[in-house]
Amino acid sequence: MSSIIQLLPDHVANQIAAGEVVQRPASVVKELLENAVDAKATDIKLIIKDAGKSLIQVIDNGVGMSVTDSRLCFERHATSKIRQAEDLFSLHTKGFRGEALASIAAIAHVEMKTKQDQEELGTHIVIEGGKFMSQEPAVLPKGTSFAVKNLFFNIPARRNFLKSETVEQRHIVDEFQRVAMAHPNIHFTMYHNGSEMFNLPISNFRQRIVNIFSGKTNEKLVPVKEETDILSLQGFVGKPEFSKKNRGEQFFFVNDRFIKSGYLHHAVMAAYEGLLKDGSQPSYFLYLTVPPHTIDINIHPTKTEIKFDDEHALYAILRSAIKHSLGQFNVAPVLDFDRDPNLDTPYQYQNKEAEYPTIQVDRSYNPFADDKPSKSFSTPSYKKPEAQPNWESLYVGLKQAGQELAEMTFENDAVTSSLFEENEVEQEVKRTYQIHKKYIVSPIKSGMVIINQNRAHERVLYEAFLTSMTVHQASSQQLLFPLQLYFSAPEMDLLAELKSALENTGFVFEAMEVDHVMISGLPVNVTESEISIVLEELLRDLQDGIPDSSFSQNDTIAKSMARSLAIKTGTYLTEKEQENLVHNLFACKEPDVSPFQKPTFITMSVEDIDKKFSV
């Protein structure tokens, strides 16, 4: 029997490895940026076209590569960071995978230009689908330029699985932000389709965070710092009042490497216990430095998960440090036994005797005397009435009135009719009842209907918003003063794309700047206090991509806004509000389901109720 196991050719093995390394264009961005950081660059440029599908280029001014290294870096398992297996536990750099460049070159058109500082000429290499097309010397500046074109050109199935440009661009921005925040000592710039998205000069950690997320981020941050034998912690956490519904601004960096850790996230949430509303997430940007031999980085293909030797100690230190910072900066309630200096005695009154008030009484005053009292003291006294009332005059005529009262005759007090008319009695009967501030019960001919108030209001708002966007006749309520809201650069791009659709719902945008918007009008269903929550949840819901068709885009916006503005469970409704909700629900085109295809009400017939009592 012939053998059936055989070794794969290199180009096939590289394409298989590319499936692990390159999941989307953002994966290429991450690898190239980390290589540029490892090359000791102080200026890194990222150039993107068509969300990375057409071009991903990273230009740095690092140490560059020699002729031999420039060819060898595209071989499998080729790296400058590892010499033996023990080196995996003492890593201080990032790009140690060894097959990243080989995998990228196997599925794209790659053009690399590199030159070392001491060399006169550099090297220009062109690779297409893993095949070396050319290698020649060239006059180049110091550093490396790595251009990846037509990603997945030879694997169309993988290319078809890519999301829309908005989604892929968001993933690229996420990777760019993570690398840029970990290295504030490097100047980063990013360009997308010829326009500059980020320009981050060399700065400290706080300024780098503010430059990335713009807006009023600076006033939201509370510094955190702790030094121990097993951990060096620094960074910033957000004030509780600036918490959001999504987990977008949450970053852990361990030894200048971005990681994800649910365990450490739980430690942060424990420090905020009692300070956040239900469902709110705080912002945090925390930089942890630990000895390299106490962590294992090589446990996940994307290197974003790390195994710690002593997680319990890190949990305790992180929780206590954040809690201390929140209390130190008067964010969390703390016990303060220091006296208030405002209550201290002023300096000029310290040796002065207190003056006691004197009381003077006119003992000769007789309130029943006819003559006026003598005023032998200087303090004012109560003024006596000029004329004493004649109390007997109040009873004059009372006797005659009593006689007339006795002579009055009363009508027969027999009940001849009901106190209320029948229609008035019907009006007094309640038509709806609220149960546990969650359900509305209303009687019907066959029994009763039980309505979920949250889902019912979602359906009412959803159809109202959808109608406004379709007919383009939305009503707006004008604000006395324009409202200014700050957003990050990716969120501003998303808002710019949604502007026309939001205007059809009733929003009026007075201006859209680089990091904020000016809103002068709101939909009639939105209050000024709710606007920031509505837009934040809308941006969060649309982060997975905006549908291409106009109707699908409007449908997504209407669903998001309806969910944000709908009456929540636990809200008390008056009888009038209950009736309006019931009437509006059954006036909808599809009253039986919410916009998210969940039932809005159930019915119970009299027979069903009788069965409950037939036991």
Radius of gyration of the chain (CA): 38
Asked if residue 266 and residue 168 are part of one domain, the reply reads: no
Task: Give tens-digit pLDDT for 211-246.
Answer: 888 767 888 889 999 998 888 999 999 988 888 877
Asked if residue 211 and residue 138 are part of one domain, the reply reads: no
Residue 411 vs residue 320, higher pLDDT: 320
Task: Give the confidence band of 522 by pLDDT, cuts at 50, 70, 90.
Answer: confident
Which of 135, 120, 128, 136 has its CA nearest to residue 64? Answer: 120
CATH of the domain at 529: 3.30.1370.100
Task: Give the confidence band of 418 by pLDDT, cuts at 50, 70, 90.
Answer: very low
Domain assignment present for residue 599? The answer is yes
Going through 43-83 in order, the beta strands assigned E by DSSP cover 43-49, 55-60
Q: Of the residues 200, 234, 264, which one is the last residue of a structural domain?
A: 200
Domain assignment present for residue 401? The answer is no
Task: Give tens-digit pLDDT for 42-76.
Answer: 999 999 999 899 999 999 999 998 888 888 888 87
Q: Are residues 523 and 475 in contact, defined by beta-carbon separation less than 8 angstroms? A: yes
Query: Mean pLDDT, the chain, as a whole number?
Result: 80
Task: Give the confidence band of 465 by pLDDT, cuts at 50, 70, 90.
Answer: confident
Asked if residue 155 and residue 32 are part of one domain, the reply reads: yes
Task: Give tens-digit pLDDT for 304-320.
Answer: 777 788 888 889 999 99
Asked if residue 226 and residue 110 are part of one domain, the reply reads: no
Q: Residue 349: pLDDT above 90?
A: no
Distances (CA, A) of 375 to 1, 370, 384, 385: 136, 15, 12, 16
Number of domains in the chain: 3
Asked if residue 119 and residue 225 are part of one domain, the reply reads: no
Asked if residue 226 and residue 194 are part of one domain, the reply reads: no
- pLDDT score, position 71: 85
Domain assignment present for residue 4? The answer is no
Which of 575, 546, 578 has its CA nearest to residue 560? Answer: 546
Domain assignment present for residue 556? The answer is yes
Domain assignment present for residue 341? The answer is no
Distance CA 247, CA 529 (A): 21
pTM: 0.68
CATH of the domain at 228: 3.30.230.10
Compute φ and ψ for 115, nearest 5 degrees: -155, 135
Distance CA 283, CA 285 (A): 7
- pLDDT score, position 372: 54
CATH of the domain at 142: 3.30.565.10
Asked if residue 284 and residue 187 are part of one domain, the reply reads: no
The mean-pLDDT minimum among 372-386, 512-526, 571-585 falls in 372-386
Q: Of the residues 180, 200, 220, which one is the last residue of a structural domain?
A: 200
Q: Which of the listed ranges 56-65, 287-296, 361-370 does the model predict with the highest average pLDDT?
A: 56-65
Asked if residue 278 and residue 161 are part of one domain, the reply reads: no
Task: Give tens-digit pLDDT for 255-286.
Answer: 888 888 888 999 999 999 888 877 788 889 99
Task: Give the confidence band of 381 by pLDDT, cuts at 50, 70, 90.
Answer: very low
Q: Residue 144: pLDDT above 80?
A: yes
Asked if residue 212 and residue 132 are part of one domain, the reply reads: no
The amino acid occupying position 190 is M
Mean pLDDT value of segment 511-522: 84
Q: Of the residues 328, 356, 383, which one is the last residue of a structural domain?
A: 328
Residue 64 vs residue 91, higher pLDDT: 64
Range of the domain at 514: 439-603
Asked if residue 453 and residue 591 are part of one domain, the reply reads: yes
Asked if residue 274 and residue 144 are part of one domain, the reply reads: no
Task: Give tens-digit pLDDT for 158-174.
Answer: 888 888 787 888 889 99
Residue 139 vs residue 431, higher pLDDT: 139
Asked if residue 228 and residue 148 are part of one domain, the reply reads: no
Domain assignment present for residue 373? The answer is no
Domain assignment present for residue 354? The answer is no
